[in-house]
Amino acid sequence: MAVYQVIGLMSGSSLDGIDLAWCTFAFSSTDPQQLLRWEMHKGATIPYDTSWQERLRGAPTLNGRELWLLHTELGMLYGKAIQQFIDEHHIKADFVASHGHTVFHFPDQHTTTQIGDGAAMAGVLGLPVIDQFRTQDMALGGQGAPLAPLADQYLFSDYFACLNLGGIANISVQTPDDYIAFDITGANQVLDALMKEVGEAYDENGQRARSGKVIPDLFQQANALPFLKQAPPKSLGNDWVQERLLPLFQDQRWSLADRLHTLCVHVAEEIGRSVEMVAMQQKLSLSDQQRILVAGGGGFNSFLCEQIAQAVQPLQLEVATPEITAFKEAVLMGLAGALRWQKQPNVLPSVTGASRAVVGGAVHWG
C-alpha cells in the first residue's frame, strides 16, 4: 500500500485567502489508481490582507515583468504560509500540491495562467511541490477545468451530482459511462464583490439577499448571457465573471438586497437548468432518492442553498460537513497531487474535452 501525507493548496477567485488541507491518501500496491482510504486531518484558511487582495485583483493588468515578479513573490508567500501550517500542526508531509491563483483562463486559445511559483514554494519548504495541473490537458484540446470532478469520482461517488459553490459555480453529474461536468456561472465572486459596497466581506447566511426581491430586468439580462447557452465541455475564467456578469449587478439603481437576491435566484435557476439538460441528454431519470452534494463557500449561504434546493427538485440537496464545505477544493488538489505522484491520470477528459486523459502537474523538487 502506498500512503502519502499531502498538503493541498487552493486560492479561489473570491480572494478570501489561501485554503490548506492536510490529508492522507492510501493507494493499492497492485493498482495505483485504486484509492483505498483517505482522510482530511486539518484545514486552515490564511486570509489575504488588503494589500494582497488588491495586488491579485489587479494582476490581469500587469505587464509581463510585473506579473512574473508577482508569480515568484506569491510562491514565497505560499511557502511561508505552508511552513507555518506544518509547524503549528507538527505535520510530516511528503509533498505539497498547489493550484495557485488563476489570473487568465482562455481555453479557446489553449492557455491558462496560475501564479504562485511552485519552485519558489519548494525552495522555502525543502519539500517537493506539484503545481500547474491544468496546462497539459489544455495542450491536448481540453478546457483544463473544472478539476473538481476528480474529487467527486474518487471521494464522493455515492452522490448523483456534486455542486461546488466557489467564486464560480460548477457541477459534476455521474452518468452510467462517466462524469459530465462544467462551469455554470459566477457565484461567491459576485456576491462578495457586492457586499464590499457596504464594507462587509460576505453576506452571512444570505440574510441580506433573503430580505430582497427579484429584479425582473436584471434577472433576464443575467440569464441571457451567451455562455450560459453553450453546451459542455465549457469552463469560465475570472475575466468572464468580472467583465460580463459582475457589471450587471453593480448597477446601483436597485437596492443591494434586491441585487443579491436576484443573483442567488439566477445561480439557482442556472444550476437547475444544467441538471435538467444533462438528464435529458443522457436519458437519466431524476428521483427524490438521488442526492446532490454542495460544497464550497456558498454552502454556508443558507438562502442560496434554499433556492438551489427548489431548483433541483426532485433531487435532494445535501450540504457537506463544514470541513468539506470549506476545504473541498484544497482536498481536491491534494488528491490530484497524490495521483500525479503515482503517475496516474488526474484530469477527466470526459469533463474537459481533451483528446485523452493526462497526468497533470509539474514537480519541483525541494
Long-range contacts of 219-228 (CB under 8 A, 24+ apart): 219/262, 219/265, 219/266, 221/248, 222/185, 222/248, 222/249, 222/262, 222/263, 222/266, 223/266, 223/269, 223/270, 225/185, 227/185, 228/184, 228/185, 228/270
Calculate mean pLDDT across residues 179-187. 95
List pLDDT tens digits, range 202-259: 999 999 999 999 999 999 999 999 999 999 999 998 889 999 999 999 999 999 999 9
Distance CA 187, CA 164 (A): 10
Could you tell me if 87 and 153 lie in one domain?
no
Distances in Å between the alpha carbon of 73 and those of 115, 181, 198, 251, 301? 9, 33, 31, 35, 33
Tell me which residue range forms the domain holding 6.
2-144+329-364
- pLDDT for res 203: 97
- pLDDT for res 238: 87
Could you tell me if 81 and 154 lie in one domain?
no
Calculate mean pLDDT across residues 109-114. 94
Number of domains in the chain: 2
Is the per-residue pLDDT at 63 higher than 90? yes
Could you tell me if 50 and 168 lie in one domain?
no
Could you tell me if 75 and 173 lie in one domain?
no
Could you tell me if 158 and 69 lie in one domain?
no
Is the per-residue pLDDT at 324 higher than 90? yes
Look over the chain and give the mean of its residue pLDDT values, rounded to a whole number.
96
Calculate mean pLDDT across residues 131-144. 96
Amino acid in the structure at residue 96:
V
Candidates 215, 225, 155; CA nearest to 184 is 225
C-alpha cell at 199: 464594507
List pLDDT tens digits, range 72-81: 999 999 999 9
Could you tell me if 135 and 205 lie in one domain?
no
Could you tell me if 153 and 137 lie in one domain?
no
SS3 label, residue 164: strand
pTM of this structure: 0.92
List pLDDT tens digits, range 83-95: 999 999 999 999 9
Is the per-residue pLDDT at 188 higher than 80? yes
User: Where residue 205 sits, what CATH number does that domain have?
Assistant: 3.30.420.40
Could you tell me if 205 and 307 lie in one domain?
yes
Q: Omega into 233 within 30° of 0, i.e. cis?
A: yes
Candidates 79, 75, 76; CA nearest to 7 is 79
Distances in Å between the alpha carbon of 89 and those of 3, 7, 43? 19, 12, 10
C-alpha cell at 143: 478546457
Calculate mean pLDDT across residues 286-302. 96
C-alpha cell at 114: 496560475
Apex 77 CA angle, 168 and 104, nearest 5: 35
Could you tell me if 107 and 172 lie in one domain?
no
Could you tell me if 46 and 134 lie in one domain?
yes
Could you tell me if 110 and 205 lie in one domain?
no
Could you tell me if 262 and 232 lie in one domain?
yes
